[in-house]
């Protein structure tokens, strides 16, 4: 194969995130944004030792499971890549990719619980950053998403299916206004122009909407053209307020951003109407969110994600929990009512301030939030955690920070990840230091894209858990008359409710302690002079709860 040449082939399978694999002779070429079964034409970008990367030029034949997308922008828009798959097919693909990645990284048997569906599959996003530009060179003003594979061209996303009607109305209103006015968009290459982005955030549960227009300050500069007067006229704000919407616009802002990078960034913000924040409610808690704070973009999906994390962490009563990479403190506040204390650590000061305000708003007095890099803050923490929740950014956890986190030696860690490839890298270190992956589940926070959120429960292998005892299950009295639940049922219950793994030995010890008859050979390991491990208190309580649940005590 030769770099720069064009090839055709059938996509055999896909790997996370959305990379199709085409086998050409002895070469394995990854082509982004393709699906298994498609016949594709691509240009070879690089190839080395039989592994290559290709740039998709055209899908020559669709895959058998493809459907006609509902979204009219699909052919051009770079936003969603899976509008041509039914939701069921999307889940299957995500499950397959996630399981394959995890199977390759997890070194002991674990439970893979599939991928949970997003509660809302269309119109699920609570935030969009639309870009201004033109659809093609010197075309009319456009406002929406980048064209597939293009840095410059913009597709006007006025029919976008992953946001609701209010977003579409706001986009159309703002676009029409500036089209009429003839204000120039910011040219990403020449760094000239005025209109950059339109940020819209809408809370799914309260309906509150915040709109922020992001422009340069070039209308104030001498070389900035002759549009100062036009730009000074903020009547677009009145037009927005006159819209008939399902939700309610509670704030309209104008942010100035002169950075060279094509990102939504805040140099200075003017409040044009209402307030510069909005409220969202998740799981009965209220959160105040400012325009640039991190907040999960799928509110109903976030409720599912947090509920999943809460069930994975198991018993929290009387425990100190660390919520590392805590953002606006959503996870910390969800756990605070059922824990002794929760400590959140987050690098963005604005988010930490919001977390404190939110905790007060929710009447929570047992959580504290610290601003700073986890890597450094961790050294100064005076509390000792019993449990840890990790929800790092896409790149995962700095290896030195992860070492320090492991040094706390907590029994259970719940790791929430938005990028499975960085998760699997971190799992390697965690497993190398004695943690065992118990179970994993995906939560689909991003329908119609190849991304998936993953929740993993890890437990620490304490020394007394690892002593080898050769017990024969046949010798156990799991079927005796007085036993209402089998050992397996007790184990399953304890794992589900408390996130703990318990051995037959421990169950038999606790049964004996509770006066339940067990067979003669129960605690007797076959090895000579064994050091018989005794069931730790935490597991004893969990087993007793199971025995109660099965009405055995």
Ligand X SMILES: C[S@@+](CC[C@H](N)C(=O)[O-])C[C@H]1O[C@@H](n2cnc3c(N)ncnc32)[C@H](O)[C@@H]1O
Determine, following the binding rule CB under 6 A, whether residue 348 of this chain makes contact with ligand X: yes
Determine, following the binding rule CB under 6 A, whether residue 373 of this chain makes contact with ligand X: yes
Q: Which stretch, 76-84, 94-102, 391-399, 407-415, contacts ligand X (CB under 6 A)?
A: 391-399
Determine, following the binding rule CB under 6 A, whether residue 296 of this chain makes contact with ligand X: yes
Whether a cis peptide bond, with omega within 30° of 0, leads into 17 is yes
- Closest to 194 in 3D by CA, of 206, 203, 205, 181: 181
**CA angle centred on 62, ends 56 and 66, rounded to 5°:** 115
Determine, following the binding rule CB under 6 A, whether residue 326 of this chain makes contact with ligand X: yes
Min CB(269)–ligand X separation in Å:
19
289 CB-near residues (< 8 Å, 6+ apart):
201, 203, 210, 277, 278, 279, 280, 295, 328, 354
Query: Which residue's CB atom is positioned nearest to ligand X?
Result: 327
Distance separating alpha carbons of residues 285 and 160, to the nearest angstrom: 29
> Which residues, 204 to 263, sit near ligand X by CB under 6 A?
none
The size of the interface with ligand X (CB under 6 A), counted in residues, is 20
User: In terms of CB distance, is 76 or 391 closer to ligand X?
Assistant: 391
Is the separation of the CB atoms in 44 and 52 below 8 Å?
yes
The reply to whether 173 belongs to the active site is no
Distance separating alpha carbons of residues 225 and 491, to the nearest angstrom: 72
Indicate which single residue of 351, 413, 500, 542 sits in contact with ligand X (rule: CB under 6 A): 351
User: In terms of CB distance, is 322 or 498 closer to ligand X?
Assistant: 322
Q: Which stretch, 153-161, 233-241, 290-298, 419-427, contacts ligand X (CB under 6 A)?
A: 290-298
Q: Which stretch, 96-104, 188-196, 326-334, 427-435, contacts ligand X (CB under 6 A)?
A: 326-334
User: In terms of CB distance, is 16 or 369 closer to ligand X?
Assistant: 369
User: In terms of CB distance, is 200 or 331 closer to ligand X?
Assistant: 331
Give burial (CB, 10 Å; 0-12/13-18/19+) of 67.
exposed
Min CB(429)–ligand X separation in Å:
16
User: In terms of CB distance, is 359 or 516 closer to ligand X?
Assistant: 359
User: In terms of CB distance, is 231 or 445 closer to ligand X?
Assistant: 445
User: CA 408: distance to chain centroid?
Assistant: 25
Determine, following the binding rule CB under 6 A, whether residue 370 of this chain makes contact with ligand X: no
Is the separation of the CB atoms in 133 and 156 below 8 Å?
no
**Residue 336 structure tokens:** 């605070």
Determine, following the binding rule CB under 6 A, whether residue 330 of this chain makes contact with ligand X: yes
> Which residues, 472 to 531, sit near ligand X by CB under 6 A?
none
Determine, following the binding rule CB under 6 A, whether residue 303 of this chain makes contact with ligand X: no
For 468-481, give the DSSP string. -----GGGS-TTST
User: In terms of CB distance, is 53 or 350 closer to ligand X?
Assistant: 350
Determine, following the binding rule CB under 6 A, whether residue 331 of this chain makes contact with ligand X: yes
State residue 389 phi and psi, 5-degree precision.
-110, 130
Determine, following the binding rule CB under 6 A, whether residue 294 of this chain makes contact with ligand X: yes
**Residue 463 structure tokens:** 């020394």
Q: Is 460 annotated as a binding residue?
A: no
| β-strand pairing of 195-202 with 154-156 | unpaired
Distance separating alpha carbons of residues 302 and 119, to the nearest angstrom: 10
Q: Residue 307, SS3?
A: helix
| The one catalytic residue among 71, 418, 440, 535 | 418
Q: Which stretch, 58-66, 71-79, 172-180, 347-355, contacts ligand X (CB under 6 A)?
A: 347-355
Q: Is 296 annotated as a binding residue?
A: yes
Is the separation of the CB atoms in 66 and 83 below 8 Å?
no
Determine, following the binding rule CB under 6 A, whether residue 279 of this chain makes contact with ligand X: no
Min CB(373)–ligand X separation in Å:
4
Using alpha carbons, list the distances in angstroms from residue 438 to 112, 216, 273, 317, 410.
Answer: 9, 50, 50, 21, 15
Min CB(330)–ligand X separation in Å:
5
State residue 120 phi and psi, 5-degree precision.
-120, 130
Paired with 288 in beta bridges are: 279
Distance separating alpha carbons of residues 441 and 373, to the nearest angstrom: 28
Indicate which single residue of 194, 236, 287, 325 sits in contact with ligand X (rule: CB under 6 A): 325
Indicate which single residue of 280, 346, 426, 444 sits in contact with ligand X (rule: CB under 6 A): 346
How many residues belong to the chain? 553
Annotated binding-site ranges for S-adenosyl-L-methionine: 296, 325, 346, 391
Annotated binding-site ranges: 296, 325, 346, 391
The binding site for ligand X (CB under 6 A) comprises 294-296, 325-328, 330-331, 345-348, 351, 373-374, 391-393, 418
> Known catalytic residues?
418
């Amino acid at each position: 194969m030769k770099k720069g040449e064009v090839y055709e082939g059938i996509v055999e399978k896909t790997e996370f995130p959305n990379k199709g694999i085409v086998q050409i002779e002895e070469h394995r070429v990854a082509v982004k944004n393709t699906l298994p079964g498609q016949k594709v034409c691509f240009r070879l970008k690089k190839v080395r030792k039989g592994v290559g990367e290709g740039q998709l030029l055209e899908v020559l034949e669709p895959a058998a499971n493809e459907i006609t997308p509902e979204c009219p922008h699909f052919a051009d828009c770079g936003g969603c890549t899976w509008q041509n798959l039914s939701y069921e097919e999307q889940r299957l693909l995500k499950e397959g990719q996630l399981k394959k990645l995890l199977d390759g990284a997890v070194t002991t048997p674990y439970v893979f619980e599939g991928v949970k569906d997003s509660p809302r599959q269309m119109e699920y996003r609570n935030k969009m950053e639309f870009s201004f530009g033109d659809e093609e060179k010197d075309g009319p003003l456009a406002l929406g998403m980048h064209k597939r594979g293009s840095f410059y061209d913009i597709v006007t996303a006025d029919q976008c299916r992953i946001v609701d009607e209010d977003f579409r109305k706001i986009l159309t209103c703002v676009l029409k206004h500036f089209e009429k006015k003839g204000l120039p968009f910011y040219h990403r290459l020449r760094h000239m122009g005025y209109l950059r982005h339109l940020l819209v955030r809408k809370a799914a549960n309260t309906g509150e909407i915040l709109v922020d227009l992001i422009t340069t300050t070039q209308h104030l500069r001498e070389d900035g053209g002759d549009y100062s007067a036009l730009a000074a006229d903020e009547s677009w704000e009145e037009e927005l307020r006159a819209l008939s919407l399902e939700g309610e616009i509670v704030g309209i802002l104008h942010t100035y951003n002169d950075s060279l990078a094509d990102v939504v960034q805040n140099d200075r913000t003017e409040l044009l109407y209402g307030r510069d924040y909005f409220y969202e409610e998740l799981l009965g808690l209220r959160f105040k969110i400012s325009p640039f704070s991190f907040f999960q973009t799928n509110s109903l999906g976030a409720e599912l994600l947090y509920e999943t994390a809460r069930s994975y962490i198991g018993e929290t009563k009387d425990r100190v929990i660390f919520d590392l990479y805590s953002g606006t403190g959503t996870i910390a506040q969800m756990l605070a009512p059922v824990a002794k204390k929760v400590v959140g650590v987050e690098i963005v000061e604005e988010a930490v301030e919001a977390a404190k305000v939110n905790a007060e708003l929710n009447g929570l007095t047992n959580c504290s939030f610290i601003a700073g890099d986890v890597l450094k803050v961790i050294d100064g923490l005076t509390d000792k955690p019993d449990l840890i929740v990790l929800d790092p950014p896409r790149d995962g956890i700095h290896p030195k920070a992860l070492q320090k986190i492991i040094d706390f030696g907590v029994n259970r860690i719940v790791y929430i990840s938005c990028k499975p490839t960085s998760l699997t890298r971190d799992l390697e270190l965690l497993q190398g230091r004695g943690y065992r992956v118990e179970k994993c589940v995906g939560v689909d926070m991003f329908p119609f894209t190849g991304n998936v959120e993953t929740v993993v429960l890890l437990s620490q292998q304490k020394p007394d858990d690892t002593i080898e005892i050769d017990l024969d299950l046949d010798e156990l009295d799991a079927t005796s008359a007085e036993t209402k639940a089998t050992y397996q049922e007790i184990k399953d219950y304890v794992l589900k409710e408390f996130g703990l793994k318990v051995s037959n030995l421990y169950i038999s010890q606790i049964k004996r302690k509770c006066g339940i008859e067990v067979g003669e050979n129960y605690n007797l390991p076959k090895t000579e002079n064994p050091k018989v491990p005794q069931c730790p208190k935490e597991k004893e309580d969990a087993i007793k709860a199971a025995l109660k649940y099965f009405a055995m005590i």
